[in-house]
A and B are shown apart, each in its own frame.
Chain A
C-alpha cells in the first residue's frame, strides 16, 4: 500500500463548479500535510499547508482528519487556470522527507 493515496482522476468540471479531492495517508506519525499543484511539465509548487482545524485560502479550503488519516482539498468557483495536477503530501519528522501522492488531475472546461 502506498503511504499517500489519491484518486488519480481526471476530474473534468465546468467553470464555476465546486470540486473536492481526497487523500489518505497510512503513517500515523506523519506530522504535517500539504497540497502542491503541478502544471504539465512543470515543477510542483506549494498550494497550501493543511492544519487540523482546517484552513482556507480564497477559493481553496483544506481539511485534515487525523482520526481517519484523511485530507481533503475543496476548490470553489473553479477557473480554467485551476487545471493542473494536485499532489497530496505528508511530512514525517522521523523520516525528514516529503511523501507525495501520485496526484489528482483536474481539468476545468468552459
Chain B
C-alpha cells in the first residue's frame, strides 16, 4: 500500500503477557520511528531507526521494551511482561528525508 501499515489495529492482552506490534513503512523510506500516545497525552518518542545505523533507543521506557527493524523495512516493537501503564496507542512513522513524516493509524494496546 501507499501508506504506513500497522498491525494489529487493536490488541487486548492480559497483564504479564508479551505483545508484538508490527509496522510496515512506506517502501523506500529509510527512517522509521515508534511513538506512543496515552489517553489525552502528547506523543512520546520511543525509538528511531535510520538505514543501517544503530537505532536511537533513548525513548524506550524500560528494558521490557525492544524493537527490531529487519532488512531496513518492517519493524516490530515487543513489550514483555506487559503492565497496565503500557496501555496506549503505539504509532509508527516513516520518512525519506527530515520532512514529510507519515504516520500509520496505530495499534491501540489495552492491558487488562
A residues neighboring B (CB under 8 Å): 31-32, 42-46, 49, 87, 91, 93, 95-103
0/1 interface trace, chain B 75-101, chain A, CB 8 Å (1 if under): 000000000000000010100001111
- Tell me whether B56 is interfacial, beta carbon within 8 Å: yes
A46 shortest CB reach to chain B, Å: 7
0/1 interface trace, chain B 47-90, chain A, CB 8 Å (1 if under): 01010000010010000000000000000000000000000000
B residues neighboring A (CB under 8 Å): 31, 33, 35, 41-43, 45, 48, 50, 56, 59, 91, 93, 98-106
**A-B CB pair tally, cutoff 8 Å:** 45
Q: Which residue of A lies closest to B105 (CB)?
A: A43
For the complex, what is the distance from the CA of A91 to the CA of B99, rounded to whole Å? 9
Q: Is there an interface contact between B45 and A97, defined as CB atoms closer than 8 Å?
A: yes
Q: Is there an interface contact between B98 and A93, defined as CB atoms closer than 8 Å?
A: yes
A88 shortest CB reach to chain B, Å: 10
